[in-house]
Amino acid sequence: MKDMVEMSSLEMEKQQIGSNISKGEVSKCVGNPTKAMAILLVCSMGSFLFSVLKDPSPDNVPWNSLYNFSLFNKDQAGQVPMDDNKRLLGGLLPQGMEKDSCLSRYQMALYRKRLQRKYPSSYLISRLRSYEATHKRCGPYTESYNRTLEYLKSGQYNSTSPTDCNYIVWISLSGLGNKMLTIASAFLYALLTNRVLLVDPGENIPDLFCEPFPEVSWLLPPDFPIIDKFDTFNLTSPDSYGNMLRHSVVSNSTVPPYVYLNLLHDLDDHDELFFCDQEQSLLHKVPWLILKSNNYFVPSLFLMQSFEEELNNLFPDEGSVFHFLGQYLFHPTNTVWGLITRFYEAYLARADEIIGIQVRIIGIVGKGPEPLKYVVDQIVGCARNENLLPEISEKKPIINPSKQHKTMKAVLITSLSAGYFETLRDMYWTHQTATGEIIEVYQPSHEENQHTENEMHNMKALAEINLLSLSDKLITSPWSTFGYVAQSLGGLRPWILVKSDNQTLTDPPCSRAASMDPCFHTPPNGNCREKNWVDKGKIVPHVQHCEDRSWGLKLVDRDNES
């Protein structure tokens, strides 16, 4: 009942925000409706300043503590003030978590301007709150955790006395983008099956992300009993669900204490039975699921009958699954947040529009520091065709530019090499634009190679993903999980460069994604225990093949208007 009351006040807040915006509150703040980002900051800054002035801090107030305004005050009617709701992403984030240890959690909303557009469903919000309660009860070193751990230690489990907490353990694997996609997939699976998600810290998870859940950690403790076995889990492992099914060593009456889920790109015809309703009912009884995946496997969960109703309630807009789960789970640590905000304030904050360009050429060997000519042509062609950037003019430069305000567009390039950046910057430096717009071109880093283990490399990569997500418009590379994460976090439907088979310019150079949700690169081929083949992209309207990968699957909104 209490939940219901809180929910309805949140609903009211949402409506308030919506109506204020539609009534043009935005233009009241700075008088230029096109500068949406600046507006959000300026409006918000107004209210911070107000609360800072009202309640002066004894120390000198550093600039960023302006953001540290009172997040959790309730007015007399017990309503959460509107700004708080905005900061909590419309109720997505839990209230009352400690602020200073993770500044990004409640500050990110200031930088993301699109958050007004989509709100999480009230059902998703209530499921997240109840997940948090379960996590608190079942997380590491709780009584329930210790009790369930005994089955792992002894290797014995009697399924006739069910556990009060079941778990899914995510094993750290692969590059940063893949990690974020698979953690989110595992978390959704945990929500759907009432499991608790525990995350293997690997080399750097705690350096990159804050704890997402209140009070109890999501990190798998280092003394976890079978942690030494993690490296041995693979396609051929006898502990894999696929092999257990193949050899019929698992049944309703013989349930093992743990099962390894091989949901890597190499999953075989037995591993992929994970995506079948019948096998899920058996898995449901296993206390510990240990997952290895490098894929965003969410779209295939939407093809399962057993989850259909729940998913429908959680995500009425199917294409925003990662948008919400990613924003809920992934809060950059203060070190990474510093990289993000310093770059943003120094280079992007003043721009009228930010165009993100994410270049990652996958599957080409021998790429040197030089940009690939066809990729540059694709980017320029895409930006021109889709009116993302102005053309350059061959006319003589204007010697005496008028003083009036010129539109300034910032181009933010992320790439392992510097060549694309240099080419575009030179293009707009040595020529004027046909429209007179000023184009600034920036690239935060160029690390030349992907170093999956290097700490600073990963921090910069996470900062770049988040900076890209702050763009107004985004061009991404095909097959890139880095791009998928940036687009979904930012609520952006990107233009994806068309994959070229022979390193020549494609026609068209890019195509608009049907939704912001990531692509599942290697969905299961089979049709569960049925022998017939069905086209998985044709079963329901909201699961379709990907723009950049014809055999991949992705979620799109059923009423596809965005």
Ligand X SMILES: *[C@@H]1O[C@H](CO)[C@@H](O)[C@H](O)[C@H]1NC(C)=O
Instruction: Identify the burial level of 403 via C-beta atoms within 10 angstroms of its C-beta, where 0-12 means exposed, 13-18 middle and 19 or more buried.
Output: exposed
- Beta carbon nearer to ligand X, 231 or 394: 231
Q: Compute CA 230 distance to the chain's CA centroid, rounded to the nearest angstrom.
A: 25
Any contact of residue 281 with ligand X (CB under 6 A)? yes
Q: Tell me which stretch binds ligand X (CB under 6 A): 18-26, 227-235, 239-247, 478-486.
A: 227-235
Q: Tell me which stretch binds ligand X (CB under 6 A): 8-16, 233-241, 335-343, 387-395.
A: 233-241
Instruction: Identify the burial level of 46 via C-beta atoms within 10 angstroms of its C-beta, where 0-12 means exposed, 13-18 middle and 19 or more buried.
Output: exposed
Residue type, 82: M
What are 178's two structure tokens?
């893949």
- Beta carbon nearer to ligand X, 260 or 302: 260
For ligand X, what does the binding mask look like between residues 181 and 220, x meaning CB under 6 A? ----------------------------------------
Q: Report the 3 state secondary structure along 135-149.
A: HHHHCCCCHHHHHHH
Output the smallest distance, CB 159 to ligand X, in A. Answer: 10
Instruction: Identify the burial level of 457 via C-beta atoms within 10 angstroms of its C-beta, where 0-12 means exposed, 13-18 middle and 19 or more buried.
Output: middle
- Beta carbon nearer to ligand X, 76 or 502: 502
- Beta carbon nearer to ligand X, 42 or 364: 364
- Of positions 154, 234, 254, 527, contacts ligand X by CB under 6 A: 234
Output the smallest distance, CB 407 to ligand X, in A. Answer: 36
For ligand X, what does the binding mask look like between residues 451 and 490, x meaning CB under 6 A? ----------------------------------------
Q: In whole angstroms, what is the distance from residue 193 CA to residue 307 CA?
A: 9
* Strand, helix or coil for residue 259: strand
Output the smallest distance, CB 528 to ligand X, in A. Answer: 15
**Whether 258 contacts 289, CB under 8 Å:** yes
Q: Tell me which stretch binds ligand X (CB under 6 A): 56-64, 143-151, 231-239, 550-558.
A: 231-239
- Beta carbon nearer to ligand X, 325 or 496: 496
Q: Tell me which stretch binds ligand X (CB under 6 A): 19-27, 68-76, 480-488, 496-504.
A: 496-504
**Whether 505 contacts 384, CB under 8 Å:** no
Q: Tell me which stretch binds ligand X (CB under 6 A): 58-66, 256-264, 497-505, 541-549.
A: 497-505
- Beta carbon nearer to ligand X, 93 or 259: 259
- Of positions 400, 402, 502, 532, contacts ligand X by CB under 6 A: 502
Among 112, 93, 96, which residue's Cα sits nearest to residue 44?
A: 112
- Beta carbon nearer to ligand X, 234 or 385: 234
Q: Where are the beta strands (DSSP E) in 276-422?
A: 288-293, 353-358, 392-393, 408-414
Q: In whole angstroms, what is the distance from residue 321 CA to residue 22 CA?
A: 25
What are 373's two structure tokens?
């000519």
Q: Name the β-bridge partners of 408.
A: 438
Q: Tell me which stretch binds ligand X (CB under 6 A): 63-71, 364-372, 472-480, 498-506.
A: 498-506
Output the smallest distance, CB 235 to ligand X, in A. Answer: 5
What are 186's two structure tokens?
């595992």
- Of positions 158, 252, 387, 400, contacts ligand X by CB under 6 A: 252
Secondary structure tally for the chain: helices H, strands E: 19, 15
Output the smallest distance, CB 257 to ligand X, in A. Answer: 18
Number of residues lying near ligand X (CB under 6 A):
9
Among 125, 119, 260, 263, which residue's Cα sits nearest to residue 191?
A: 125
Output the smallest distance, CB 385 to ligand X, in A. Answer: 18
Neighbours of 70 (CB within 10 A): 13
- Beta carbon nearer to ligand X, 101 or 281: 281
Among 497, 486, 493, which residue's Cα sits nearest to residue 377?
A: 497
**Whether 487 contacts 469, CB under 8 Å:** yes
- Beta carbon nearer to ligand X, 38 or 282: 282
Alpha helices, DSSP H only, in 31-142?
Answer: 36-54, 82-87, 103-111, 122-138
Q: In whole angstroms, what is the distance from residue 181 CA to residue 552 CA?
A: 15
Output the smallest distance, CB 251 to ligand X, in A. Answer: 6
- Beta carbon nearer to ligand X, 154 or 281: 281
- Of positions 504, 512, 527, 551, contacts ligand X by CB under 6 A: 504
- Of positions 501, 530, 535, 561, contacts ligand X by CB under 6 A: 501
Q: Give one word for 158, left, alpha or beta, with left for phi > 0 and alpha for psi -120 to 50.
A: beta
Q: Tell me which stretch binds ligand X (CB under 6 A): 304-312, 355-363, 499-507, 508-516.
A: 499-507
- Beta carbon nearer to ligand X, 264 or 489: 264
- Beta carbon nearer to ligand X, 268 or 422: 268
Q: In whole angstroms, what is the distance from residue 329 CA to residue 325 CA?
A: 6
Output the smallest distance, CB 230 to ligand X, in A. Answer: 10
- Beta carbon nearer to ligand X, 66 or 498: 498
- Beta carbon nearer to ligand X, 100 or 501: 501
Q: In whole angstroms, what is the distance from residue 186 CA to residue 208 CA?
A: 18
**Whether 495 contacts 370, CB under 8 Å:** no
For ligand X, what does the binding mask look like between residues 298 and 327, x meaning CB under 6 A? ------------------------------
What are 70's two structure tokens?
């009172």
- Tell me how long the chain is: 562
- Beta carbon nearer to ligand X, 21 or 376: 376
* Strand, helix or coil for residue 442: strand
- Of positions 82, 192, 219, 235, contacts ligand X by CB under 6 A: 235
Output the smallest distance, CB 504 to ligand X, in A. Answer: 5
Q: Compute CA 343 distance to the chain's CA centroid, rounded to the nearest angstrom.
A: 20
Footprint of ligand X on this chain (CB under 6 A)?
232, 234-236, 252, 281, 501-502, 504
